[in-house]
Amino acid sequence: MRAISLRPMTRTLALAALAALPLSSPASAHDLERERLLQAQAEALEDAVAWDILEDLTTEVGPRLGGTPAEARARAWATERLTALGFANVRVEDYRMPTWVRGEEKARLTGPYPQDLALTALGNSGSTGPAGLTAEVVGYVDYAAFLADDPANQAGRIVFISNAMPRNQDGSGYSMPFGAPRWVGPNEAAKRGAAAIVVRSIGTDHNRTPHTGNTSFEEGVDPIPAAALAVPDAEQLMRVLERAETAVRMELLLTPRRLGMQPSGNVIAEVPGRDPSAKKVLVGCHLDSWDNAPGVFDDGAGCAIVAAAAKRVMDMGTPARTIEIVWFGAEEVGLWGARDFAERHDGTDYHVVAESDFGADRVWKVTTDLGEHRRAEADALRAALAPLGIASGDYDQAGGADVGPLRAEGAPGLSLRQDGTRYFDLHHTANDTLDKVDPAQLRQNVAAWTTMLLVMAGPVE
Amino acid sequence: MRAISLRPMTRTLALAALAALPLSSPASAHDLERERLLQAQAEALEDAVAWDILEDLTTEVGPRLGGTPAEARARAWATERLTALGFANVRVEDYRMPTWVRGEEKARLTGPYPQDLALTALGNSGSTGPAGLTAEVVGYVDYAAFLADDPANQAGRIVFISNAMPRNQDGSGYSMPFGAPRWVGPNEAAKRGAAAIVVRSIGTDHNRTPHTGNTSFEEGVDPIPAAALAVPDAEQLMRVLERAETAVRMELLLTPRRLGMQPSGNVIAEVPGRDPSAKKVLVGCHLDSWDNAPGVFDDGAGCAIVAAAAKRVMDMGTPARTIEIVWFGAEEVGLWGARDFAERHDGTDYHVVAESDFGADRVWKVTTDLGEHRRAEADALRAALAPLGIASGDYDQAGGADVGPLRAEGAPGLSLRQDGTRYFDLHHTANDTLDKVDPAQLRQNVAAWTTMLLVMAGPVE
């Protein structure tokens, strides 16, 4: 295993590559292209644009929940900033979406060991009403144990599911199996007649900043109050359940509201290519965030990275293909922007689609799903990214929530996978703030996306 | 510098010391005493009592603010546990104290960049009333800048002081200068006519779990609302102030209440010594905690450590001097327990007084203030602690808030100084929870306190 030290290694490699160019003979076209790439990477590693976007968006707008006035302020801010950066055809594509907003949230064990617990409502949670509710807690170590138990033990009670999310570089396990209590637990608990459900946060930190996140209820199922306990509080509740000799009772207050259909939108900008008939390259992120933090890792950073990279390419000249920058709306609360975008646009119009939505830490691996006939292009991308310390991954795999609907329509995809080792310490929590960002790793992302655009939308002339 | 690896090194040293005893000749009395000490340390490094006390207290009682029913539950719990552990003369010394309790707490910037900020009221904060207050924010980089400004710029406004607390192993700077905004800022701001004051948390973490802590107002000064912003929020507010072109306004809601005189108490237990006329050894901690966490580092750990150490000595036999264990009440909110204790007891009755109140991480240094005539005893203590990786510090210095009043009456003191590198990440925040404890370091504390008691209260027969 080679230790990767981001900037020093990359700059050294870039300079070494430049020095290795034969001085006594004319450089080949290939050498010149390589030289230009390494130069672009070295410059991108000094990027200041991404930091500025990220700091300004998260300071001047702050939290920006989908469908709310805060998200509308973010669209106005984004339109102004993308225009100021010099992009073409900056516009908002509006849509409307069902909007949920948080209310009060409090939990207290009333017995046998009275104490408050830190928790936060999941998106789409039902309300306890302003008076709250008090019920006995029935606890399970994981979702399977909850499913296996007799619903008669759950009816009228507060179900607690306590599985722990493990820390993985690639985020493995977040959706399933470890996210099950959040994704599908509330719906299942509602069907079983539970009064409410609390789950251990689907996160890897030990801070008392619980992880929110969306859940959903089937048509016809009345949403019950559903919340995530902070990890220390889930552990505390488990200890309490293990030792209590009388029923453990919890007083729960959650008063979220549904505001009906509200305005949201996608913000789009372009770097026009030389060939308007050529398929486009889409780079995306999501502009909305959860309401409990300024949304830095999730996903202000993604928007900063893709815009800064597109600007670097634009400043080098005109690419062959048009680059489309999409700052999607309302991702967290149900992919409303992604779905609207895919309805208006055709996935087959894209040469490739890619999004940045896994924090601000370094890109460590590239995967592609371009089809076997584009293997050479996939390999060229890998060769171009290697100087940045980025490993080669699968050739038949690419992810991304917001580009998902376009991918389903046939758009080729690729992923510049970010190191998610600490992503689930921050995401969906109040701790998703600017101080968490390592500027050197943010710049490495810009260099990786610049490189990707030079390969996929190039050559730049 | 030698790297200190706690348990392995200590156990190896202890075994090596045992092995080094001359097998072919009778061991001297000194050798036998040393052997017994090393054996006691090795056993203390396997201690389970401290963890059990800490887990049980913080689970079954949880947060326990001075003067509240939760602190009363803690006294009942403590009396039962100290009795069950076999200590003698377990009792509560009651007193009454003015009691302050937290209410609602919310802050929101209303312009020019609307967003919520995370903050928590300081102990003794005034109330905004249920309607809250809205005022312009005037910010200062530190306490000196606040003092230097014209009070006319502060009257009717919300004063914000933003100095950062540095991370030091020994906690240097917590009281002064970096704690000044919290300790004396609110009183000074009130005298200057400020509507309220918010300070950057006096802490070293970057979590949105703000640090509470006491402040005080002079007689005749009406308490104003006073709160600490979480560190990320203080940084956010500073960024907002730096870039805002119009007045920054904050809406503040803090509704703490004063409950008048309420019951509190110190819980006391003893290991009787062979000589009832000999001066006693007092080991202390504080049983109360802030209300926002179960008070694990501050100071459940201290109570667990001193009681576990005293029990180890008791289980070895009878010490020469009586060991008095004092779990002080109401430390956080004004040292009410310490003051009551010093009124009832005489500092000159103690051979030495010491307290554990700096978390659960390892002891790294010993300091003493026993007087020059007890230099040999001070040196013997240092020699006994060295196998645990504990360095020798000053001979004229000992600290501790709860033993302060006894020290002022003439009690000799000593300090087993804990590594505070991460103490100010946790103390006075919601994050002061059990999961933060490193059991090996907790056990090293037990070994250090056991050692201290063997030296200062011994010999045990």
Element spanning B313, H or E = helix B301-316
Distance from CA of A58 to the nearest CA of B (A): 9
Q: Would you say residue B5 has pLDDT above 80? A: no
Name the residue in chain B with its Cα closest to that of A235. Answer: B435
For residues B142 and B27, the model is more confident at: B142
Digit-coded pLDDT (tens) for B152-168 = 999 999 999 999 999 99
- Confidence at residue A305, expressed as pLDDT on a 0 to 100 scale: 99
Region A240-257 average pLDDT: 98
- Confidence at residue B28, expressed as pLDDT on a 0 to 100 scale: 77
Q: Are residues B271 and B379 in the same domain?
A: yes
- Confidence at residue A26, expressed as pLDDT on a 0 to 100 scale: 52
Name the residue in chain A with its Cα closest to that of B240. Answer: A59
* % of chain A with per-residue pLDDT over 70: 94
The Cα-based distances of B104 to B95, B101, B128, B198, B352 in angstroms read 28, 10, 10, 15, 43
| Average pLDDT in chain B | 94
Q: Would you say residue B6 has pLDDT above 60? A: no
Q: Are residues A93 and A113 in the same domain?
A: no
How far apart are alpha carbons A382 and A37 in whole angstroms? 13
pLDDT-derived band of residue B423, with 50, 70 and 90 as boundaries? very high
Q: Report residue A20 as tokens.
A: 């290795």
| Residue B432 three-state SS | coil
Distance from CA of B293 to the nearest CA of A (A): 9
Q: Are residues A19 and A158 in the same domain?
A: no
Q: Are residues B135 and B25 in the same domain?
A: no
Q: Report residue A288 as tokens.
A: 């909305």
Domain that holds residue B13: 6-98+261-456
Digit-coded pLDDT (tens) for A415-430 = 999 999 999 999 999 9
- Confidence at residue B458, expressed as pLDDT on a 0 to 100 scale: 84
pLDDT-derived band of residue A266, with 50, 70 and 90 as boundaries? very high
Say if CB B54 and CB B304 are below 8 A apart: yes
- Confidence at residue A140, expressed as pLDDT on a 0 to 100 scale: 98
| Residue A1: inside a domain | no
Taking an 8 Å cut-off on Cβ atoms, the answer to whether B113 and A62 are in contact is yes
Digit-coded pLDDT (tens) for B287-329 = 999 999 999 999 999 999 999 999 999 999 999 999 999 999 9
- Stretch 196-215 of chain B: residues touching chain A, C-beta under 8 Å: 206-209
Tokens 């045992």, residue located = B18
Domain C-terminal end among A255, A275, A297: A255
Point out which residues pair with A119 in neighbouring strands: A229
Distance from CA of A55 to the nearest CA of B (A): 9
Rounded (10°) CA dihedral B146, B151, B152, B155: 90
Digit-coded pLDDT (tens) for A114-169 = 999 999 999 999 999 999 999 999 999 999 999 999 999 999 999 999 999 999 99
Region B54-82 average pLDDT: 98
Region B109-129 average pLDDT: 98
- Confidence at residue B457, expressed as pLDDT on a 0 to 100 scale: 97
Q: Would you say residue B204 has pLDDT above 50? A: yes
Taking an 8 Å cut-off on Cβ atoms, the answer to whether B63 and A116 are in contact is yes
Q: Is A431 on the interface with B (CB under 8 A)?
A: yes
Most B CBs within 10 Å, among A52, A55, A59, to test the B interface: A59
Q: Would you say residue B25 has pLDDT above 80? A: no
Taking an 8 Å cut-off on Cβ atoms, the answer to whether B239 and A59 are in contact is yes
Region B407-427 average pLDDT: 98
Q: Would you say residue B145 has pLDDT above 70? A: yes
For residues A293 and B2, the model is more confident at: A293
How far apart are alpha carbons A115 and A107 in whole angstroms? 9
Region B213-232 average pLDDT: 98
How far apart are alpha carbons B326 and B403 in whole angstroms? 10
* % of chain A with per-residue pLDDT over 90: 92
Q: Is A63 on the interface with B (CB under 8 A)?
A: yes
Q: Would you say residue B62 has pLDDT above 50? A: yes
Q: Are residues A212 and A327 in the same domain?
A: no
Taking an 8 Å cut-off on Cβ atoms, the answer to whether B232 and A55 are in contact is no
Taking an 8 Å cut-off on Cβ atoms, the answer to whether B433 and A208 are in contact is yes
Q: Are residues B250 and B265 in the same domain?
A: no
Nearest to B62 among A61, A115, A434 (CB): A115
- Confidence at residue A6, expressed as pLDDT on a 0 to 100 scale: 39
Evaluate the CA torsion angle A308, A314, A317, A319 in order and state its sign: positive
Domain C-terminal end among A255, A276, A296: A255
- Confidence at residue A9, expressed as pLDDT on a 0 to 100 scale: 42
- Confidence at residue A10, expressed as pLDDT on a 0 to 100 scale: 46
How far apart are alpha carbons A54 and A296 in whole angstroms? 7
Taking an 8 Å cut-off on Cβ atoms, the answer to whether B59 and A293 are in contact is no
Q: Which amino acid is at B52?
A: D
Q: Are residues A393 and A374 in the same domain?
A: yes
Digit-coded pLDDT (tens) for A344-380 = 999 999 999 999 999 999 999 999 999 999 999 999 9
- Confidence at residue A430, expressed as pLDDT on a 0 to 100 scale: 98
| Residue B180: inside a domain | yes
- Confidence at residue B402, expressed as pLDDT on a 0 to 100 scale: 97
CATH number at residue B109: 3.50.30.30
Domain C-terminal end among B255, B287, B305: B255
Q: Are residues A356 and A250 in the same domain?
A: no
Distance from CA of B172 to the nearest CA of A (A): 24
| Residue B163 three-state SS | coil
Query: Beta strand A257-271 with B249-254: parallel, antiparallel or unpaired?
Result: unpaired
Q: Is B430 on the interface with A (CB under 8 A)?
A: yes
| Residue A342: inside a domain | yes
Which residues, other chains included, contact B222 with Cβ-Cβ below 8 Å and sequence gap of 6+?
Answer: B126, B190
For chain B, the C-alpha Rg in angstroms (whole number) is 24
How many structural domains is chain A composed of? Answer: 2
Q: Would you say residue A4 has pLDDT above 60? A: no
Say if CB B192 and CB B140 are below 8 A apart: no
Rounded (10°) CA dihedral B440, B443, B449, B453: -140
- Confidence at residue B12, expressed as pLDDT on a 0 to 100 scale: 46
Q: Would you say residue A8 has pLDDT above 90? A: no
Say if CB B242 and CB B215 are below 8 A apart: no
- Confidence at residue A120, expressed as pLDDT on a 0 to 100 scale: 98
Q: Report residue B181 as tokens.
A: 């905004």
Taking an 8 Å cut-off on Cβ atoms, the answer to whether B435 and A243 are in contact is no
| Average pLDDT in chain A | 94
- Confidence at residue B27, expressed as pLDDT on a 0 to 100 scale: 60
Say if CB B424 and CB B165 are below 8 A apart: yes
pTM summary value: 0.93
Nearest to B75 by CA among B324, B268, B296: B268
A195: left (phi over 0), alpha (psi -120 to 50) or beta: alpha
Q: Are residues A148 and A272 in the same domain?
A: no
| Residue B461: inside a domain | no
Element spanning B365, H or E = strand B363-369
Digit-coded pLDDT (tens) for B327-346 = 999 999 999 999 999 999 99
| Residue A330: inside a domain | yes
How far apart are alpha carbons A231 and A249 in whole angstroms? 19
Q: Which amino acid is at A403?
A: V
- Confidence at residue A208, expressed as pLDDT on a 0 to 100 scale: 98
Q: Are residues A22 and A137 in the same domain?
A: no
Q: Are residues B284 and B402 in the same domain?
A: yes
CATH number at residue B284: 3.40.630.10
Digit-coded pLDDT (tens) for A179-191 = 999 999 999 999 9
Nearest to A182 by CA among A204, A195, A163: A163
How far apart are alpha carbons B157 and A420 in whole angstroms? 43
pLDDT-derived band of residue A211, with 50, 70 and 90 as boundaries? very high
Taking an 8 Å cut-off on Cβ atoms, the answer to whether A59 and B240 are in contact is yes
Q: Are residues A227 and A297 in the same domain?
A: no
Nearest to A281 by CA among A88, A50, A455, A53: A455
Q: Is B248 on the interface with A (CB under 8 A)?
A: no
| Residue B1: inside a domain | no
Digit-coded pLDDT (tens) for A316-326 = 999 999 999 99
